[in-house]
Structure 1
C-alpha cells in the first residue's frame, strides 16, 4: 500500500501503560498481552484513543506475544491465534479512517533490552509465527526495541520475502554521548549503515529516554548520507517515558515508573528537536499517552 503523508508522520503511543490507565487487566510478566487474553475490547479502545489523538500509524498489540512474556506453553498453544487477533483488532480500528496504516509489530522475540539472550536458532521460529499471523492485516512491518545488529539483520532478511516495507526501530543506551550505541554496545552508525536500505525504508529509535535521541538521529543521518540513502530512507523517534534503563534490565520483572517531567508539551519540545535533526516520523513508546500524541499531531499544522 502506498500512502502519501504530510510530514511528520505521527505514530501511536505506548499500549501497555495506556491499558493500565484505562483499567484493563494488566500485570507482569504478561504486560499488554493480559488485556488481549482476558478483555480484548480494551485493545480496541486504546487504538481508538490514539487515532482520535491524531495517530496515523496504529501498531498491533503483539509486542508481548512471545514466550518471554506469556510463557512457552501458552505461546505454543495460543500464540498464533492471539497474534492474529491483535492484528485483526488493529485493522478494525483503522476501518473508516482512510490513509491510516497498520504496523505489524515485531518485538525482540527473546527479551527486551537483552541482546545477550539472542540466538538465531531460537529466534527464527518465533519470528515466523509473528509474521505469518499478521501478514493479512499489516501494511508495514515495525520491528521495535531491537537491541543488536544481528537481530535486525534476521528481521530484515525474513521480511524481504513479504510484500511489505519494513521499519526497524533500535533501542539505544540511555547515556548522552557523542557516539550513541545500541544496547548490544554496537554503534548507531554501524547499525544504520548495515540495516538501512532495500525494503527497510525507515530507521527509528525507540524505548530509550528522550534525551538521547537527538544525537542518535544526527549519527543516523550521516550514515544514510554516506551510503547514498538520505533521500530513500526515513528517520524517526518514539521515546519512552521511563527513567533510564540499564544493562541487563529484566523487562518483565517489574512495572517501571513513569517520569513526571516529560508531560505532553515537553515531549512535543523534544519532538521538535528530533524533526530538526532529521526525523520525519515521531510517536511514543512506553508511558506516552494519547495526550502526548495529540501534542505531536499539532506539529503537522505548526
Structure 2
C-alpha cells in the first residue's frame, strides 16, 4: 500500500448524511445500509462526490452492516453479499482514480458509543464476515468509532492475520478537559500506548465534536513519544458535525437523527483541521455530517 506522499492525507466524509442529501433511499434503523440494499448506485455516487472533492481515501459502506442497523436475520441471510458489494463498489470507484485508496470499514459491531455493550464473545463472530468479505478489495483496515481498549485490541489481533495495515480510530468523550478519554472512560494515553504499533500504523479519532480533538491528539502524541513510535505511527482526525453526545446515547438512534451543527461551515472546519495538523495529525477528513464541501476545503491544505 502506497500512501499519498504530500501531507496531509485527505479522507472522505460522512456517507449517511451525503446519501440523504443526494436523495438516496434513507431510513432508520438501516441508515446507510438502506441505499446499499435498495439502490447501490447511490453509494458509488457518494464515493465519487468525495473523490471529486479531493479525498485520497474512501471508506467502504459497511458501517451499518451490523445487527443494530439491519437486524440479525437480514445479516445472517444477506450480510456476506452486502459486505462484498460495499467493498466492490468502493474498489470500482478508485479504478479510474489513480492513487485513491480503499479503507475497509470495521464498525463497532455491538453499537456506537456504547462500550458498556461490548463483549469479545459476542463481537468476534460479527467481526469475521466483515474481514472475510472485504479483504480482497481493500487496501487497509479502518476500525471506526472504537470506544474501548478491549474492542481495539480485538480488532488489532484479528486484522494482524490479514497482512494488511490497520488504522484504529477511537471516539472520545465530548467534554473539554486536559486529559482526553475514550467513551469507556479509559485515557487516550493508555489506549494509544497499548494499541499503537505492530500492524497498527495509524491512530485516529473520529465521531466526536471538533472542540475535543486537539487534546486527544496531544495525548496520543505523548503516548507515541513515550513508546518511541512517533516515526512509525501516524495520527489523524475526522470529527463529526454533531453537538456533543452524552453518556449512553447512540448517534442517529431510534430517537431520531442527530442534529447537524450550523456553526461548523466548511471554512470553519478547515480552521479546526489546521490546528489538528499543528498538533501532529497527518491524516484528516470528516465523519457524520461532514460533506464534500468540507472535504474540498481540506484539500486546499495540501
Q: Provide TM-score, normalisation by structure 2.
A: 0.98
What is the rounded CA distance, in whole Å, between the counterparts of 1:19 and 1:5 in structure 2?
30
Alignment-derived partner of residue 271 in structure 2: 269
What is the CA distance between 1:5 and its match in structure 2? 2.3
1:129-144 to 2 correspondence within 5 Å? 129-144=129-144
Separation of aligned partners in 1, 2:67 and 2:174: 26
Partner of residue 282, structure 2: 280
Which residue is equivalent to 1:106?
A: 106
Q: Is the 8 A contact 2:210 2:272 kept in 1?
A: yes
1:214 maps to 214
Per the TM alignment, residue 98 of structure 1 is displaced from its structure 2 partner at its CA by 1.4
3-state SS of 1:64 partner: coil
Structure 1 counterpart of 2:26: 26
Give yes or no for the alignment of 1:66 onto 2:69. Answer: no
SS in 1 for 2:136: coil
RMSD between aligned residues = 0.6
**In structure 2, what is the Cα distance between the partners aligned to 1:102 and 1:237?**
17
Match of 1:124 in 2: 124
In the alignment of these two chains, the number of paired residues is 300
8 Å Cα contact 2:17/2:288 also seen in 1: yes
Question: Equivalent residue of 2:105, what SS?
Answer: strand
**SS of the residue 1:136 aligns to:** helix
SS of the equivalent of 1:226 reads helix
How far off its partner does 1:4 sit?
Answer: 4.1
Compare 6-15 and 22-31 and name the one that shifted more.
22-31
SS in 2 for 1:160: helix
Residue 188 of structure 2: aligned partner: 188
Query: Post-superposition shift, 1:250?
Result: 3.0
Structure 1: any 5+ residue segments left out of the alignment?
none
Residue number in structure 2 paired with 1:223: 223
* 1:198-241 Cα deviation digits (max 9, x unpaired): 01000000000000000110010000000000000000000000
SS at match of 1:145: strand
In 1, the alpha carbon distance for the partners of 2:2 and 2:12 equals 19
**Per-residue deviation, 1:96:** 1.5
Residues 29-71 of structure 1, C-alpha deviations (whole Å, 9 max, x = no match): 1110000000000000000000000000010000000011100
Gaps of 5+ in 2: none
Query: Shift in Å at residue 27 of structure 1?
Result: 1.2
The equivalent of 1:255 in structure 2 is 257
CA contact (8 A) 2:4 2:56 kept: no
Distance 1:80 1:225 in 2: 40
Name the CA distance, whole Å, in 2 between partners of 1:4 and 1:31.
31
In structure 2, C-alpha distance between the alignment counterparts of 1:114 and 1:28, rounded to whole Å: 18
**TM-score where L is the length of structure 1:** 0.98
Please state whether the residue corresponding to 1:272 is helix, strand or coil. Answer: helix
CA distance in 1, matches of 2:90, 2:4: 20
2-structure distance, mates of 1:72, 1:98? 37
